[in-house]
Amino acid sequence: MQNAHKDPSSSTPVKFDLWRRIYSRLGNYWKAGVLALILVAIASATQPLLAVIMKPLLDEGFTGARPSYIWSIPLAIIGLMLLRGLCNFFGDYLLAWIANNVLLGLRRDMFERLLGLSDDEFKRGDQGRLLNRFTIDATTVSTRATEVIMVLVRETLTIIALLAVLLYMSWQLTLIVVVMLPASVISARIFMKRLRRINRDTITMNAELTRVVSEGISGQRVIKLFDGYENERSRFAYVNARLRRFAMRAVTSDAAMSPISQFCIALSVAAVVATALYQANHGALTVGSFAAFMAALGQIFDPMKRLTKIAGSMQRMLVAGESVFTLIDQAPERDTGTLDLSGKIKGRIEFRGVSHRFVDAQTDTIRDITLVAEPGQTVALVGRSGSGKTTLVNMLPRFVEPTSGRVYIDDVDIADLSLRSLRANLSLVSQDVVLFEGSIAENVAYGALRDVGDKDILAALEAANLLGFVQGLPDGLNTQVGSNANMLSGGQRQRLAIARALIKNAPILILDEATSALDSESEHQVQLSLERLMSGRTTLVIAHRLSTVQKADRIAVLDAGRVVEQGSHTELLAQDGLYASLYRMQFQE
């Protein structure tokens, strides 16, 4: 899939746009955000007060000038810490609530876009990368966004409050600290670009890790049978090692900022101590003032350190945000049609001069095909593998768009039909069976058919020669099929998909190797059921086994993307062309 955004490090407008899009989502919960920031601000304000207490405590408390300090100052410390703890707790809770709601919205928008992508986008996309966006990138965006705003507000307010205390105690000493601050900031910026690049590489490699592990799970039988252990171990070891390398680079860059910042701070502290001693020797600074100043200065280091380290979180947030919004910004499946196939349609199908060439392909997959299926007819498409049969049929539900030419249903250009209306009149059983985790009933009565009653489900299962098997299960229709129906055999999965097509009762039926996974007995029984279903319906059948299409009204033979022969089974055998050659080859086998 093509990236919708440029490198956020290379373009300030794009970087600003990412910030805007991320924080506009937080803005939807601005009331909770404002309350959280107020609580954070209160917690920040309590921190310098602890330093301020040091001056009266040392100057007057230990001298006995203020006996009330014996109880008032300890109570003040307890009160300040209690207030700070409560504000931090509720502030963190509100920010976590905002982060999880932002995550909810991001994942909803991504999944909505995912469902609306075109078939071509799924073919070009990386499944591991897609999964990574849902599991890692979206979480990174939501958590880092709230973390960044919380740290920026809390630590900035804390530093400002502590600087005010420092100025109050001694503006000369404060000036030394302020002069040294830019050095710490400059050192942090040096590492920001490196962290951004490392985070982007880490996200890419995380997607690769997801893909490798996913393939290891789905292909575990092939790995065992073909002794692919070493091959898969080496693939995983490479990705795993790269992730470790990126993680160590990030840790090194992140950790290097702290000692550099601390060195700058040490220089300022040394200068402060020297100046304070000079002032104290000349009576310009009391012990209490110096202690309060040093207490405030000591507290300023941690918020400065956290502000310095937040640069890494910012870069992770921006890189993850770039990934998330790349998916959200993907162009949806083109649906410009406005017409509906209302009422009972006849089911006439016409491919008129259609051609198709896949992106980056050198030649057309299908070339200038004209083919008509009259209402109620069964038209079979046969030919060698790669001849274009599936590509041609996939034009009917508009999974594939013709590069040139038109496809018509009842003399209406399907490009003028809404996708929902078009696909509502089609049923498909593909050689690649897709079933969902759930019960048998939920897989048969799927989607728009979810309200169909058990009677109709049982009738569809009977027609697909699966009723006896289902009735023999302890939970019957409520039996769970597992992930991708791994609790069922290949033939049972195929027949369950056929039952799903049967119950839809659409006027146009597409069978793409629909009986390929069935044994001979089951295939014969299901073929009889399919023949009853096809009666009165327009059916397009793709088949490699020519024995399954001999009764078709017309057989179209494709070769190298063209229709080279058409006719009935008997007529094509009499022509003694490609069909007859294929038939004799299969018959001999």
Give 7-76 as a 3 state SS string: CCCCCHHHHHHHHHHHHHHHHHHHHHHHHHHHHHHHHHHHHHHHHHCHHHHHHHHCCCCCCCHHHHHHHH
CATH architecture of the domain formed by 12-328: Up-down Bundle (1.20)
State both tokens at 88.
């931090």
pTM above 0.85, yes or no: no
pLDDT for position 8:
41
Burial of 428 (0-12, 13-18, 19+ CB in 10 A): buried
Range in 297-301, 307-311, 407-411, 514-518 with the lowest mean pLDDT: 514-518
Residue type, 59: D
CA distance 389 to 528: 24
Residue 516 has pLDDT above 80, yes or no: no
- Percentage of residues in the chain having pLDDT higher than 70: 85
CA distance 175 to 143: 36
> Do 12-328 and 349-588 fold alike per CATH?
no
Give the pLDDT band of residue 187 (cuts 50, 70, 90). low
pLDDT for position 314:
85
Q: What residues contact 339, with CB distance under 8 A and at least 6 apart? A: 412, 416, 417, 418, 421
- CB–CB of 353/404 below 8 Å? yes
Give the pLDDT band of residue 94 (cuts 50, 70, 90). very high
State both tokens at 273.
């101590």
SS (H, E, C) 377-398: CEEEEEECCCCCHHHHHCCCCC
Query: What residue ranges do the domains of the chain occupy?
Result: 12-328, 349-588
Each residue's pLDDT tens digit, 65-91: 667 767 777 888 888 889 988 998 999
Each residue's pLDDT tens digit, 298-345: 777 778 778 777 877 888 888 889 889 988 988 888 888 888 877 778
Q: What average pLDDT does this structure show over 24-33?
A: 89
pLDDT for position 492:
81
Q: What average pLDDT does this structure show over 365-387?
A: 90
Residue type, 123: K
pLDDT for position 108:
92
Residue 589 has pLDDT above 60, yes or no: no
DSSP state of 577: S
CA distance 183 to 493: 67
Phi-psi region of 576 (alpha: psi -120 to 50; beta: other; left: phi over 0): left
Pick the CATH number of 349-588 from 3.40.190.10, 2.60.120.10, 3.30.1330.10, 3.40.50.300: 3.40.50.300
* Greatest Cα-to-Cα distance within the chain, rounded to the nearest angstrom: 122
Residue 221 has pLDDT above 70, yes or no: no
Range in 158-162, 369-373, 420-424 with the lowest mean pLDDT: 158-162
Which of 433, 427, 393, 398 is CA-nearest to residue 504? 427
